[in-house]
A and B are shown apart, each in its own frame.
Chain A
Amino acid sequence: MKNNLLKIFTKGLFIENPVFILMLGLCSVLAVSVSVINALGMTLAFTFVIVLSELTISLIRNWIPKTLRIPIFIVIIASFVTILQFLLQAYLPALNKSLGIFIPLIVVNCIIIGRIESFASKRPVVESILDGLGISLGYGIAIVLIAVVREILGSGSILGIQLFGSSFQPALMFILPPGAFLVIGIEIGALNAFMKKYNKKVCSR
């Protein structure tokens, strides 16, 4: 039983990593990974929404008519996103500004609706919460890995602290859109190579 719960939690980290393996929810990942701070903030926002949505839907899963499930899921996710918007505006306005439109867009993040449809709407509460936490952690690992590379190369800093002298000219391209695509491409390639070495099967399209 314990083993099973652990499995639910850890599968999101690597084997079913939502970003690197399933390639879902890429919009927010690529857009906010310009700096590590933003990446952490986005992960926090994402965790808030997915855990609470999975929790709520798992609680009421027996009262959701099958034909209405998608609209109900959307209403619940959108409510939590709006609550998150209020909380950010009230307590973390700076983070709210730097993430901008990608906060309301959590509503249409395919990871969340995917996890709810395939997991939370069928499983008990504890498992659903663990699933949400695991997926969020996997999402966080991916987005931070991309952000670290982009911030070091593109702004010459990490967490806002300048790493090199003032004469250093950062490669601007990495904080611009092309850099985002390049970094995630190379990182998935590297992950594939790594997985192959350890003889694990990687699902890639």
Chain B
Amino acid sequence: MNLINILIQTIFSQNFIFMRFLGLCPFFGLTNDMESSIGMGGAVTFVTVMASVVSYLVYYLILIPLGVEYLQTISFIVTIAVFVQLVEIYLKKMIPNLYKVMGIYLPLITTNCMIMGVTLLNIQNGYTLLETVFFAFGSSIGFTLAMILMTSIRIRLRDSKLPEFFKGAPIVFIAASFIAIAFMGLQGLGG
């Protein structure tokens, strides 16, 4: 039950983009067309889940036994960076088709604050390994959902008449504000 709650919370009521402000760079930078936003969503999902598991293991199997919990920030970012690098090498060699779709987003992912945020929150909330997986998966699905929503709006915005100075970024922020209001209506879901 708790696991399902985590999923619902991370996708809707505590959506990382709209409620927690994490992962905004790709949200504003890459939501111009559907293909790249779905590609980014897929890449983020994969890396977030794997990086959460790895950083969880790093924290509980290396940092705690050695009594160096304060190295959390540095070891997590290095873990994510190394992991992204490995995924890139692996995909390039083994699954070139998938690499073609996801490859260009991988370097951008290292500095995606959502992934770092998820790994830190897993520890902060004291999750178990299974909860960590669900939390990471739910947040990435929530991220992908936000990307797709924003892209569909931006495609329509392109042809609409707007005051000159609201074109581009400002109207995207205002649209995000309205989606966030809708998401606030889901607060309380999942306990």
Q: Do chains A and B touch in the complex (CB under 8 A)?
A: yes
Interface set of A (CB-CB < 8 Å, partner B): 23-28, 30-31, 70-71, 74-75, 78-79, 81-82, 85-86, 101, 104-105, 107-110, 113, 173, 176-182, 184-186, 188-190, 192-193, 196, 204-205
Contact between A79 and B74, CB atoms less than 8 A apart: yes
B76 to chain A: closest CB distance in Å? 8
- In the complex with contacts A30-B21, A78-B78, A179-B73 CB distance below 8 A: no
Beyond the given A27-B113, A109-B113, please list 20 additional residue pairs across the A-B interface where CB-CB is below 8 A.
A27-B22, A27-B25, A71-B82, A78-B73, A78-B77, A86-B70, A101-B117, A104-B72, A108-B111, A108-B113, A108-B116, A110-B111, A177-B19, A180-B177, A181-B174, A181-B176, A182-B174, A186-B170, A188-B170, A204-B167
A195 to chain B: closest CB distance in Å? 8
Roughly how many angstroms separate A25 CA and B74 CA in the complex, as a whole number?
19
B176 to chain A: closest CB distance in Å? 4
Q: Which of A26, A179, A186 contacts B28 (CB 8 A)?
A: A26
- In the complex with contacts A27-B21, A78-B77, A178-B178, A113-B111 CB distance below 8 A: yes
Contact between B28 and A23, CB atoms less than 8 A apart: yes
Q: Which of B117, B174, B184 contacts A185 (CB 8 A)?
A: B174
Taking CB atoms, residues of chain A closer than 8 Å to B91 are none
What is the chain A residue whose CB lies nearest that of B24? Answer: A26
Contact between A180 and B78, CB atoms less than 8 A apart: no
B114 to chain A: closest CB distance in Å? 8
Residue B71, interface by CB 8 Å: yes
Contact between A177 and B78, CB atoms less than 8 A apart: no
B28-51 contact mask (Cβ, 8 Å, vs A): 1 or 0: 110000000000000000000000
Taking CB atoms, residues of chain B closer than 8 Å to A108 are 77, 110-113, 115-116
Interface centre among A86, A180, A188 (most CB of B within 10 A): A188
Taking CB atoms, residues of chain B closer than 8 Å to A71 are 78, 81-82
Residue B104, interface by CB 8 Å: no
Roughly how many angstroms separate A82 CA and B76 CA in the complex, as a whole number?
12
